[in-house]
Amino acid sequence: MARYKSILQFQGSIDGLVFYELNGVSVVRKKSGFNRDDFKTKENYARVRENSSEFGHCSKTGKMLRNAIYPYYKNCGDRYLYQKFAKLMTAIKDFDSISERGKRTVYQGLKTTDGKKLLSSFVFGKISSAKDFIKKTSYDDGIYVELNTPLTLPSLHLVSILPNFESYRFEIQEQKVSIDNGIFTFDSYFQEEEALQFVVIYDGEEILGMGFLA
């Protein structure tokens, strides 16, 4: 790319050169040799196609999950959270060891211990991770969460999410439970393997922590 000065100011292409304006400056560059048909069919673009397919899947999955919990993290104070969350989805997808490259999914990655650990460790901006407050979680005939920190007026919100990793739509069920000797019991609405649980820990009106349960 190069800058140019001319009495005539125009945009477009001439003889393999593209003229356009960038940030108020007239610039010129050579036309790209990229060909869409080659991208779809040529073997030398295979790895690029694989990466592009997986990137698109991770971006859509991240957006789906963020939309499901948006009311809780919207004031977390991190303007780049969507980028960090997309990066998280990519890292989880990489734990999918059963799908061929180009078809690896976040869903398969979340079936692994490492994938679940990554998701539950994610921190939403300035809000602490829920795992910092949780002593134990169990899923026997319901969802049980035990806190390790005594709080004045604690309550827990549980958002049960049933994501569809193909249509990128989701169902949610929300529950709120107040203190019960530091142990909170929730109904298990979704029995499907792909169901996810997101917990928000309150002390009165203040959000102390939030995050996905492992």
Identify the pLDDT of residue 13: 66
- Smallest CA-to-CA distance from 170 within 70, 43, 91 is with 70
Local confidence pLDDT in tens for the 214 residues of the chain? 555 555 556 666 666 677 777 766 777 776 665 566 655 667 666 788 888 999 999 999 999 999 999 999 999 999 999 999 999 999 999 999 999 999 999 999 999 999 999 999 999 999 999 999 999 999 988 999 998 877 777 889 999 999 999 999 999 999 998 866 778 899 999 999 999 999 999 988 889 999 999 8
Q: What is the pLDDT of residue 98?
A: 97
The pLDDT, as a whole number, for residue 40 is 60
Structural domain spans, the chain: 46-212
Q: Which of 18, 22, 19, 23 is nearest to 9 (CA)?
A: 19
pLDDT of residue 180: 64
Question: How much is the CA Rg of the chain, to the nearest whole Å?
Answer: 24
Q: Which residue type sits at 208? A: L
Residue with tokens 């945009």: 11
* HSE value, Cβ hemisphere, 13 Å, CA-based, for 145: 31
Q: What is the pLDDT of residue 137?
A: 94
Strands, E assignment, the chain: 2-3, 12-14, 17-22, 25-30, 128-129, 134-138, 143-147, 154-163, 170-178, 183-186, 196-203, 206-212
Sheet hosting strand 2-3, strand order edge to edge? 2-3, 25-30, 17-22, 12-14
Residue 31: the pLDDT is 66
Contact 200, 156 (CB under 8 A): yes
In a 3-state reduction of DSSP, which class is residue 2?
strand
Predicted local distance difference test score (pLDDT) of residue 37: 65
**H helices present in the chain, as ranges:** 36-41, 46-73, 81-93, 106-110, 113-121
